[in-house]
Amino acid sequence: MSNVIALTRVELKNYWRRLIENMGAGKRKGLIIVALIWLVFTFIFLSVQLSNTLYLSLGQMGLSELTFTIMYLIISMVIMFLSFSALINLFYYSKNTGFLLTLPIKENVIILARIAVQYVFSFLMSTVFLLPALIIYFSRSGLTIVGLLGGVIVLLLAPLAPLLIASILVVLVMSTVGRSINRRVMSVIVNFLVIAIIIGLQVLIARQSASGDFITKLLLSEDGLLYYFGLRFPPVVWATRMITGSFLNLVLFVGLNLVILISVNLLARPLVRNTLRSFNQAESKVIHRRASYQGRSVIGALVRRNLQIVYKTPAFLMNALLLIILPLFIVGINLLSGTQSIESWRLIIDSLNRPEMQPWLPLIVAAVLISPAFIGTFSATAITREGKHLWQIKTAPVSAQVDLKARLISCAVIIGIGIIYLPFVLIWMLPVTVMDLLWGILIVLPTVYAMLTIDICIDINRPILNWTSPTHAVKNNLNIMIGLAWRLLLGFLIFIVIRVISPVVTTLTLKYVLLLLMVLIAVAGHLLFRKSIVKYQQLEIK
Amino acid sequence: MLRLVDLTKNYDGKKLAVDGINLDVSSGEIFGFIGPNGAGKTTTIKMITGMLLPTSGKVFVDNVDVRNRPVEAKKRFAFVPDHAEIFDSISGFDYLNFIGDIYNVSKNLRQKRIEQFTVPFGIYEDLGKAISSFSHGMKQKLMISGALLSKPKLFILDEPLVGLDPKSAKMLKDIMKEHCAAGGTVFFSSHVLEVVENLCDRIAIIQDGRIIAMGTVADIKAQGGSLEDIFLELTENE
Ligand SMILES: Nc1ncnc2c1ncn2[C@@H]1O[C@H](COP(=O)(O)OP(=O)(O)O)[C@@H](O)[C@H]1O
Ligand SMILES: [Mg+2]
């Protein structure tokens, strides 16, 4: 046990140190910390809002304790899904596993420590969402001693059940299917499965709640809604009753968590031993083709290498694929979410098909085409993705300019794949003309260029090269947040521009104004990029 | 071939790792850069190869200033670091081809040289596999083969003999000698003294970021005792 705690502490410290390092120094650090605190407060605010709304509407039905139930359910689901992919990475794709295996500790200690790390993150997350719900419920519905005790227990134990279910699933999946397939393919399949399950659940819930008698059925009995959820996730019922002051359910809840803990510890041991080790050796099986000696230009070789790094690293590949298909996914989710949303989609598309919308079509085309670049801050990790391998490029006879150009091109290729099919979708759904498409593309080109260059400048200024797991490079990366932040500002700016000038000018003028704005931003991006080349040249690899 | 002028590195203004090093390696030499752990060998090599910027001082490779004309300078040397951190999801062939592309090695030469180095190292048969399946020694051999692919004028290695078995170490020493016989120059670091005796034309001994002795092995020996004694003495007295 002390081993587990020690290892967990080391991993958390490591994580924390890296987080601090990545924040930079001096004034910049202060700014980022302020931004982070602001972000946390936004979440707390959101969760207070949500709990409040839930309490009011559920209170009218006399089911105010369901405020907590629903929040608890949501957060449990979120933790389970997030943990599923996080644990796969922590268990199987963490680079320091090999080193840890050489230490005189049991394998299951490594696994338990990894779960503990994920527990700490999950605990912080669930507290942000559950604490406001609990406070709102207690302050209005009254507080008992057992209820208070239950509240504390539920905060501490809430992440456990979903976390342990996720880790059992991970070990099961990886030890059965995981070994027969290439691990890169495996990781991508698993991630998509997770997404499919999330969407499936959403579709199911949306469909069922859309039919009116489902809700009346739920509300027929006093505990209907509760049992509906509870049937699928028993701890929820016990946790809810525990909050309302039932001592029996408190005992049940704690007992259940203990049982899960013990059984996982027992079950994981034999399974984990096989998987941890075999996955560390898995890649020796990969045989590539025989000798080949084709030559490429320098920039071609660099672009190929950058694309290989994306393609051969599961976490990066996932990122790229998501950005490529996300626009389709969003449409898909909405279309599948039952008759109501199909209707609303038809309404939207019908209204876009109306003649008076015709002048706006170029802007709509532009908005759709920009979406992959808007959500994908892919070049904000263009250098970070190299990690510890950057020395190779740094000591090779390649100028900073050529190197960065190759990185830009490879990001453009990936974003380009995400964009290229969208015009066909548009033509299929809307009465767009060739001119509309041309205008859309004309506006999109400088915008994409601006996004690529400005993002890469962010990465040049703060690359993270010391990551041990690729997930660190792309998930817990502030560069991506900064990339998203400036996009939001840009979106806001465009919104203001359209709002202010559209009543006074024709749409043709508006198009020119937007085009001009985008070209200006692209020029700014270009200049910034030129300036950053010098900075990149001076980047040190310590 | 390699000239360091008052080369100094101060990490973050706190740690003076290299303190005004001057040295001049002539063409055709095997030069050993010897010193205990933490002496500043890696730091010096990182400044030569452009991974670190000197706090002050200059580096010239074949009379080309590394700071001002980095690409020209880097065309003249190849580098094998002390760690084997290379992107390892690709095959050995992919790796060597990448190097060949970057250094503009023609296809025919590429094929000839890859066989020339990887066959004796015994890794040719494994080049089709992912590098991640290579052992540490195999990775190092792959990196050495890659570095020699472009027949660089200057061959820089950081602690190259660590992790190699005796047979491979002997082979690497022979490769170094051949490289010099063919007109190349070798600059390598080591914290082990025994390797330099019958290998290096000249050595420099570095401690705490300063060069405390430099010359042929015979020169330093002439100052008295075995090289080992001198080494111990030099590193203890300072
Ligand atoms: N990134 C760094 N930041 C601060 N100090 C460093 C860094 N890298 C090395 N040092 C320090 O510089 C000195 C020289 O290190 P190094 O050049 O790696 O020695 P060697 O290669 O001779 O063993 C050591 O004292 C080491 O602690
Ligand atoms: Mg060293």
Q: Read off the pLDDT band of A267 (50, 70, 90).
A: low
Contact B81, B162 (CB under 8 A): no
Q: Read off the pLDDT band of A148 (50, 70, 90).
A: confident
Domain ranges in chain A are 2-281, 298-537
Residue nearest to atom 27 of ligand 1 (CA): B38
pLDDT, residue B46, reads 94
In 3D space, the residue among A206, A212, A239 whose CA is nearest the CA of residue A126 turns out to be A239
Strand-pair partners of B78: B155
pLDDT digits (tens, 9 = 90+) for B31-73: 999 988 889 999 999 999 999 999 999 999 999 999 999 999 9
Start-to-end CA span in chain B (Å): 29
pLDDT, residue B231, reads 67
Cα torsion A374, A378, A384, A390: sign:
negative
Share of chain A above pLDDT 90, in %: 16
> Is the minimum CB–CB distance between A180 and chain B shorter than 8 Å?
no
pLDDT, residue A285, reads 45
pLDDT, residue B238, reads 45
Identify the top-confidence range among A347-361, A479-493, B44-58, B200-214.
B44-58
Global pTM value: 0.72
pLDDT, residue A60, reads 74
In sequence order, the 6+-apart residues with CB closer than 8 A to the CB of B28 are B180, B183, B184, B185
> Is the minimum CB–CB distance between A212 and chain B shorter than 8 Å?
no
Amino acid found at A245: G
Q: How far apart are CA A58 and CA A73, in angstroms?
A: 15
Q: Which of A296, A298, A312 sits opposite B90 (nearest CB)?
A: A312
| Rounded average pLDDT over A360-374 | 87
**A394 CA to centre of ligand 1 in angstroms:** 19
Specify the range with the lowest mean pLDDT, choosing from A251-260, B64-73, B167-176, B229-238: B229-238
pLDDT, residue B26, reads 92
Contact B77, B47 (CB under 8 A): no
In sequence order, the 6+-apart residues with CB closer than 8 A to the CB of A225 are A63, A66, A69, A218, A219
pLDDT, residue A144, reads 80
Q: Read off the pLDDT band of A235 (50, 70, 90).
A: confident
pLDDT, residue A33, reads 77
pLDDT digits (tens, 9 = 90+) for A425-455: 888 878 888 888 899 999 999 999 999 999 9
Q: How far is B223 from chain A (nearest CA, A)?
A: 37
| Rounded average pLDDT over A208-219 | 47
Contact A514, A497 (CB under 8 A): yes
Which numbered atom of ligand 1 lies nearest the CA of B44? 17
Specify the range with the lowest mean pLDDT, choosing from A43-52, A380-389, B10-19: A43-52
| Rounded average pLDDT over A4-25 | 73
Average pLDDT along chain A: 78
Q: Which two structure tokens, joined as six digits, stand for A103?
A: 């230490």
pLDDT, residue A194, reads 66
pLDDT digits (tens, 9 = 90+) for B64-95: 999 999 999 999 999 999 888 899 888 899 99
> Is the minimum CB–CB distance between B59 and chain A shorter than 8 Å?
no
Given a cut of 90, is residue B194 above it in pLDDT? no
| Backbone phi and psi for residue B105, each to the nearest 5 degrees, phi listed first | -90, 130
pLDDT higher at A330 or A12:
A12
Q: How far apart are CA B231 and CA B35, in angstroms?
A: 9
pLDDT digits (tens, 9 = 90+) for A113-138: 878 888 888 898 888 888 888 888 88
| Rounded average pLDDT over A376-383 | 86
Crossing angle of helices B136-148 and B166-181, in 10° steps, is 10
Q: Read off the pLDDT band of A94 (50, 70, 90).
A: low
Cβ–Cβ gap B71/A395 under 8 Å: no
pLDDT higher at A81 or A368:
A368
Given a cut of 70, is residue A476 above it in pLDDT? no
| Ligand 1 cavity residues, CB under 6 Å | A 542; B 11, 15, 17, 35, 37-43
| Rounded average pLDDT over A85-96 | 71
pLDDT, residue A247, reads 83
pLDDT higher at B9 or A43:
B9
Cβ–Cβ gap A394/B51 under 8 Å: yes
Cβ–Cβ gap B90/A308 under 8 Å: yes
* Distances from the Cα of A541 to the Cα of A20, A184, A460, A466, B52, angstroms: 19, 28, 13, 10, 6
Q: Read off the pLDDT band of A339 (50, 70, 90).
A: low
| Rounded average pLDDT over A160-176 | 77
- What is the set of domains in chain B, with CATH numbers? 2-76+152-237 (3.40.50.300), 85-150 (no CATH)
pLDDT, residue A279, reads 52
| Rounded average pLDDT over A300-326 | 85
Start-to-end CA span in chain A (Å): 36
